[in-house]
Structure 1
Amino acid sequence: MNDPTPAGVVAPTPIRIFDTTLRDGEQSPGCSMTPQQKVVMARALAELGVDVIETGFPASSESDREAARLIARELRAPTLAVLSRCLPADIEASARALEIAANPRLHVFISTSPLHREHKLRMSKAQVLEATAACVAQARRHVDDVEFSTEDGTRTEREFLAEVIGAAIAAGATTINVPDTLGYTTPDEMRALFAFLIETVPGARGVVFSAHCHDDLGLAVANSLAAIEGGARQVECTVNGIGERAGNCAMEELVMALKVRGAWYGADTGIDTRRLVPTSQLLSRLVGMPVQRNKAVVGANAFAHESGIHQHGMLRHRGTYEIMHPEDVGWPDSKMVLGRHSGRAAFSHRLRALGYALEDAQLEQAFAGFKALCERQRVVEDRDLEALMHGDVNGEGFRLASMTVSDRGQRASAQVELSDPDGRRVAESALGDGPVDALFAALSAATDVELTLESYQVHSVGIGADARGEANLSVRCGDTAYEGTGTSRDVIEASALAWLDIANRALRARGKRNEERETREKLAALSH
């Protein structure tokens, strides 16, 4: 096989990705998964190209034992690891869970910091050393691939940490993991610690050193990158950065940092980066934890541009405001979001893409209408632009005339009175599990529009007497996603206005589809 690296170019150092989404990630409050869900996620991790998948902690529950067995039965290519305390019974339970794995790894750990030794383990340094050697040797009798972790390693005395790691290597450990369990350390400290351990511990050059960083101070990815600079060749991370407390090192961020800044780090992974976004979205669906919009790489806003200055630069050359291509991580494309910060360049560009070629005077008039529309809704979609160009963006949709909401008794009730597009009054009432649920049900009955709520947020805009409530909705109407905003001194009324904003746009889209269908039917009739 030919060397793919051109002559004179140094090949990047391979970094193993050890994914602990199914173990440490699942320990994030509210993120537990069933064994079957873990199998689904494990498949996705294997397709992503993860080197090592940590499937669980068998001694902790029957669910973890079942998940480990199911995944081992199905996935034969990646290394499958399970976690175990340095306790003989834990190690035996882990070994049984790995019996059918094609590439098993037994991952044992013990706390090493003074605080943990005294208050958690109640063990002396000598006892920790003895347990380390005995349990690594026991694990090695079951499998050839043994990883050893020093819990709270970054808060452990350097000399003792080196002594414990030396004992683990002598007992047969093949991977040494030094966790920043509390997310306490800094990149400079992390880099120096790994360099010190690899330089001074006997046998260190013959094993793989690994970093496992938590994000309590927001430094998990930075500390993991620093560990690589110090000599680590494996990083333990999770999809979307989920995990205990503030989470773990986010895999997608680490992988893309190495990819984009490859010349600096001289390292890379075997991850298929095009699958990062689909894998992130799968996990979000499985555990019910949405990804924040401004999350690096996989957040909805990661490649979205609304500022007029940024949009103008992007239209000239995407490199002006993007350091990686959205397609490389699994997004279909960059998003030019039209809103109140957008300028004429992006507005004109989007109109041309929709087939509208305007003279300067027409463009100025349309742009003024666009800016007015931006004062009523945060995001202007293509369907809104088409309505603007056809002059019906301000058409008479449903308008709120009055509303009454009551939350007494077992269920809340709402009564609404609307003015329909023809000026007639429409009144409906409904019950719901809460005032907002009842309100939306009444509005749906009055407008004959079914919206599936995906996100609902309210917050205050302004200070003191000038403060107003703002409601933001994200919904689906059929296969179409919508976002709407409403503002009022009363947050319930603001919610109703946001709902009607979306409903009116959905009705305009429905009307346009009906017109297009009727046109097609007439043309078909004429052709016959």
Structure 2
Amino acid sequence: TYARKFTDDVEWSCEDGTRTNMDFMCKTVELAIKCGAKTINVPDTVGYSVPSEFKKIIETLINKVPNIDKAILSTHCHNDLGLAVANSLAGVSAGARQIECTINGIGERAGNAALEEIVMAMKTRNDLMPFKTGINTKLLSKASKVVSNATGFPVQFNKAIVGKNAFAHESGIHQDGMLKNRNTYEIMTPESVGVKQTSLVMGKHSGRHAFKDKLTDLGYVDITDDIIQIAFGKFKVLADKKKHVYDEDIAALVDDSLIKEDNVIVLKSLRVFAGTGEPQKADMTLEVYGEIKKATETGDGPVDATFKCIKKLYPHEVKLQLYQVHAVTEGTDAQATVSVRIEEEGKTTVGQAADTDTLVASANAYLNALNKMIIKRKKTAPEEYKQKQVYQQKKMEGI
């Protein structure tokens, strides 16, 4: 009732609904609707339910709550048993008309129901679930990549719908069937979720105009000419290093150019000495607020030595929570995309970078996260930012 003073669209959730006594749930749902709730959400908070059970819960609410027709039933399923999508679809089949889900299934613990899987399941099996979602499915792949980049959590290769191998067929029998008739082993087309079946796309002789057209084709329509020029320069360098340049390579170059636009700390050079029986050593040059600084550090491995150089040249206290390396494409000449997540005083920041040199990508990913943290601190806590700048300046004067 209180919430209705601020909005007409009030959603009420029954915490841990799938383990709640049904008679009690029916009474509380009826009361919530009487008090003005327009949406009744049934969460499987700990991912405990199974599809047949979840379907029965929704059916019971529809049959036993007298005013249920005045509200929309919603599902909110967690994936602790790997059943979030199945439970959500069971809820829809029983009468729910709202599904709470996330792109790539991200969420606490094992995650939530994956939006892309639910949408394509309903579209592919429209014979069983004749409903429309209003989702432009051709943007699912792009949305998945955006979320992956923003969170620093890569999409597993065998992830349904948006995984790299979702439309790959390796079995000889499957490949033969695909060549004869795609419908033999493909229940949906890659194009329907925004995956274009192109192979090699660009080479070292490709011009700026063709590069710009490719960016538009990949969905980069609002980037500045300066970013395009920076990315094109990187593309020409990459094309000289790699035999083949793929769409994923180009996307990584553009993303890398975008995230460096506001950097206050820039990597100028990095040399790493690694091998058996000797300490791992890194020589690094950084530009810190316009000033060139150099350092040499040893560490427990080349990555550790590299990160120690950064901490020496720009003193700071953060905890490295995540460090991941993934190949953008296949082959030994593939670019490496590195994701890091750092934490300072309970606040986390994700950084990413790509390069054919994994250690350069690692350094730039760490610096990307650090730059984001500095900029965020400057915007949200200017006094704290000034104090930390004084501390860091005193530390750097000792270098």
TM-score by length of 1: 0.42
The answer on whether the counterparts of 1:216 and 1:246 sit within 8 Å (CA) in structure 2 is: yes
Quick one: which of 8, 14, 19 aligns to 1:150? 14
* Residue 206 of structure 1, CA deviation: 1.6
Matches within 5 A, 1:374-389: none
The answer on whether the counterparts of 2:73 and 2:97 sit within 8 Å (CA) in structure 1 is: yes
- 1:305 match: secondary structure: coil
* Residue 214 of structure 1, CA deviation: 0.3
Matches within 5 A, 1:306-345: 306-333=170-197
Matches within 5 A, 1:83-482: 137-333=1-197, 404-406=275-277, 408=279, 412=281, 434-437=300-303, 456=325, 474=327, 481-482=329-330
* Residue 270 of structure 1, CA deviation: 0.5
Counterpart residue number, 1:357: none
The whole-number CA distance in structure 2 between the counterparts of 1:163 and 1:144 is 22
- 1:483 match: secondary structure: coil
The whole-number CA distance in structure 1 between the counterparts of 2:191 and 2:243 is 22
The whole-number CA distance in structure 2 between the counterparts of 1:432 and 1:224 is 52
* Residue 438 of structure 1, CA deviation: 9.0
The whole-number CA distance in structure 2 between the counterparts of 1:335 and 1:175 is 46
Quick one: which of 332, 351, 372 aligns to 1:484? 332
The answer on whether the counterparts of 1:305 and 1:335 sit within 8 Å (CA) in structure 2 is: no
* Residue 455 of structure 1, CA deviation: 6.1
The whole-number CA distance in structure 2 between the counterparts of 1:278 and 1:218 is 24
Letter in 1 for 2:124: V
* Residue 334 of structure 1, CA deviation: 8.0
Letter in 1 for 2:275: T
The whole-number CA distance in structure 1 between the counterparts of 2:64 and 2:198 is 48
Task: Report the CA distance shift for 1:438/1:219 in structure 2 as closer, same or farther (over 3 A).
Answer: closer
List runs of 5+ in structure 1 lacking aligned partners.
Answer: 1-136, 337-380, 385-402, 415-429, 441-453, 457-472, 476-480, 486-498, 501-528
The whole-number CA distance in structure 2 between the counterparts of 1:254 and 1:434 is 45
Task: Report the CA distance shift for 1:313/1:382 in structure 2 as closer, same or farther (over 3 A).
Answer: farther
The answer on whether the counterparts of 1:326 and 1:334 sit within 8 Å (CA) in structure 2 is: no
* Residue 309 of structure 1, CA deviation: 2.0
Letter in 2 for 1:193: I
The whole-number CA distance in structure 1 between the counterparts of 2:275 and 2:36 is 72
The whole-number CA distance in structure 2 between the counterparts of 1:166 and 1:202 is 7
Number of aligned residues:
238
TM-score by length of 2: 0.55
Task: Report the CA distance shift for 1:255/1:300 in structure 2 as closer, same or farther (over 3 A).
Answer: same
Task: Report the CA distance shift for 1:327/1:142 in structure 2 as closer, same or farther (over 3 A).
Answer: same
Letter in 1 for 2:147: L
Task: Report the CA distance shift for 1:196/1:316 in structure 2 as closer, same or farther (over 3 A).
Answer: same
Q: Which has the larger radius of gyration?
A: 1
* Residue 265 of structure 1, CA deviation: 1.5
* Residue 404 of structure 1, CA deviation: 3.1
Task: Report the CA distance shift for 1:181/1:382 in structure 2 as closer, same or farther (over 3 A).
Answer: same
Task: Report the CA distance shift for 1:439/1:146 in structure 2 as closer, same or farther (over 3 A).
Answer: closer
- 2:166 match: secondary structure: coil
Letter in 1 for 2:58: F
Task: Report the CA distance shift for 1:438/1:244 in structure 2 as closer, same or farther (over 3 A).
Answer: closer
Q: CA RMSD in A?
A: 3.0
- 2:331 match: secondary structure: strand
The whole-number CA distance in structure 2 between the counterparts of 1:173 and 1:329 is 35
The whole-number CA distance in structure 2 between the counterparts of 1:317 and 1:190 is 38
* Residue 228 of structure 1, CA deviation: 0.6
Letter in 1 for 2:193: V
The whole-number CA distance in structure 2 between the counterparts of 1:405 and 1:439 is 15
Residues 181-233 of structure 1: CA deviation (Å, up to 9, x unaligned): 01101100111110110111121012100000000000000000000111100
The whole-number CA distance in structure 1 between the counterparts of 2:7 and 2:165 is 45
* Residue 432 of structure 1, CA deviation: 6.7
* Residue 413 of structure 1, CA deviation: 6.7
Letter in 2 for 1:235: I
Letter in 1 for 2:48: Y
The whole-number CA distance in structure 1 between the counterparts of 2:298 and 2:144 is 33
- 1:151 match: secondary structure: coil
Letter in 2 for 1:483: G
The whole-number CA distance in structure 2 between the counterparts of 1:413 and 1:183 is 46
The answer on whether the counterparts of 2:299 and 2:305 sit within 8 Å (CA) in structure 1 is: no
The answer on whether the counterparts of 2:54 and 2:91 sit within 8 Å (CA) in structure 1 is: yes
The whole-number CA distance in structure 2 between the counterparts of 1:322 and 1:455 is 32
